[in-house]
Chain A
Amino acid sequence: MATTFWIGTRKGLFQLSRSTSGQWNIDSSHFLGVQVPMLVSGPAGLFAALQHGHFGSKVQRSNDGGASWTEIGVPTYPPKPDDVPDVIDPMRNKAIPWSLELIWSMEMTSAGKLWCGTLPGGLFSSDDQGDSWDLNWPLWNLPNRSHWFGGGYDVPGIHSVCIDPRDEQQIKVGISCGGVWASDDGGASWQCRADGMRAEYVPPERAFDPDIQDPHRVVQCVGAPDHHWVQHHNGIFKSTDNCQHWEELKCETPSSFGFVVTVHPQDPHTAWFVPAIADSDRFPKDGQFVVTRTRDGGQTFDVLTSGLPQADAYHLVYRHALEVDMTGEVLAMGSTTGGLWISEDAGDSWQLVTQDLPPIFVIRNGTN
């Protein structure tokens, strides 16, 4: 089971560890005062994306479990050729910038290859532990990119990268707002796979356009990789056929709106969500903070409350801030108001670790 999680926040990186007596405590801090929007840990090391308020995005790597850090390469957009026209955000009628604004997702293959999704919509990869990065031109050059637009942020962004454990050349990316895109050839070509997703923020005749969808988070079941889950701006969706089709599911109580979803690593029918009321009311219904869980592929949802505040609690959990370990039993969850909880029984009950952290952006399992 997991004994360490890394917590990226508005004001630094924190290490959460389980003691031999079973207590969870924050036992180290790093980069205090600097935003840490994304993390990844794996065979190539531990990587933290830093977002300086003034000085832009940086990446730090640790090869000793966080004891020491080295600033490494940053995914940077190559100079924009003079003869390439701007891509215009169709909602704002403004040019989408050709420049790194934020590192929004990072994942690693079993061989240590890194993938990094960014605002304003570029995907990068690194084969040298992050020392250098390459923009994925086939995705960046897609004509469909002119259909993408910002959701939450003012520009489009890649918040999810799913690497298929059966074949690491198969990659899916989730884009707000641009749908889900898949490559079967390591990023050489891309196809939109958002058939069945539904958007309420466009006229009805465009509701099912695949490349304007807003999947807030896309996750893939490691043990059953054809199964994917999406927490979408307009509800919960799942796919059982490797993203060829998506089915909308209803969680009536308290709602189907939220940002995060995480899926059990072996059981594709089990997934967790943290609902808010709606996009117009991004806080828990009646001030009662709950996690919802399905164990039957979205036919029914448990509302999990044990250990979570049930009065005057207005926590929101961002898209990367609910992490499950490889046993499917240990979950770590962090909120935008700095609450951090752990469950060791698949969400049946939760224990508060601290309610005093800065706003939490991302939690990643750090147990090797």
Chain B
Amino acid sequence: MSNINTNAEGKIRVEFSPNIRKHIAIEPCEINGQTVREVLESVFESVPELRGYVLDDQGAVRQHVTVFVNDDTIRDREQLTDPLAANDRVYVFQALSGG
């Protein structure tokens, strides 16, 4: 958890929806990083089993998962290159699909 802090000034806050936390124990955390890929990789480094729930086997965001940066969904779902600024919030949700 070296890059992850739960209360740090200027860091990126990353949160996962309850549906994901039903399967993998992951609390909101704050991380340094320049892109969505960087901060998620930091989380996966600490919680490796989370990766397969968020990304597919080619490293893209799963079809039925959505990632927001603040109020907007990310644009690059394959490489996750969307840039981040200090104090941004990254939210990972399940999509509104299925039944």
Contacts and interface: CB of A to CB of B under 8 A. Distances in A.
Interface stretch (B28-36, B38-46, B58-66): B58-66
A55 B57 contact: no
B62 to A, nearest CB: 6
A97 B99 CA distance: 24
Contacts of B58: 77, 79-80, 98-99
Contacts, number: 45
Contact of A56 (B53, B95, B99): B53
The 10 closest A-B pairs by CB, nearest first: A53-B98, A76-B57, A54-B94, A55-B53, A54-B64, A77-B57, A99-B58, A99-B56, A99-B57, A100-B57
A54 B65 contact: yes
Contacts of B65: 54-55
Nearest to A79: B58
Contacts of B64: 53-55
Given A52-B23, A54-B98, 7 more contacts: A54-B62, A54-B65, A55-B54, A55-B94, A56-B62, A98-B58, A100-B57
Contacts of A74: 52, 57
A302 interface: no
Interface in A38-64: 52-56, 58
Interface in B41-99: 49, 52-54, 56-59, 62, 64-65, 94-95, 97-99
B24 to A, nearest CB: 9
Interface residues of B, number: 19
B49 A54 contact: no
Interface string A59-101: 0000000000001001011011000000000000000001110
B54 to A, nearest CB: 8
B44 to A, nearest CB: 14
Contacts of B99: 53
Contacts of A99: 56-58
A58 B22 CA distance: 14
Question: Which of A53, A54, A74, A76 has most B Cβ within 10 Å?
Answer: A54
A85 to B, nearest CB: 16
B26 interface: no
Nearest to A75: B57
Contacts of B52: 55-56, 58, 74, 76
Question: Which of B49, B57, B98 has most A Cβ within 10 Å?
Answer: B57
A225 B95 CA distance: 46
Nearest to A71: B49
Contacts of A52: 23, 53
B57 to A, nearest CB: 4
B53 to A, nearest CB: 4
Contacts of A71: 49
B2 interface: no
A354 B98 CA distance: 26
A79 B62 contact: no
Contacts of B62: 54-56
17 contacts: A52-B23, A53-B94, A53-B99, A54-B94, A54-B97, A55-B23, A55-B52, A55-B53, A55-B65, A55-B94, A56-B56, A71-B49, A76-B52, A79-B58, A80-B58, A98-B58, A100-B56
Nearest to A33: B22
B55 to A, nearest CB: 9
Nearest to B62: A56
Nearest to B17: A54
A366 B53 CA distance: 29
Contacts of B53: 52, 55-56
Contacts of A77: 57-58
A55 B94 CA distance: 8
Nearest to B98: A53
Contacts of B19: 54
A58 B24 CA distance: 13
A100 B56 CA distance: 8
Contacts of A79: 58-59
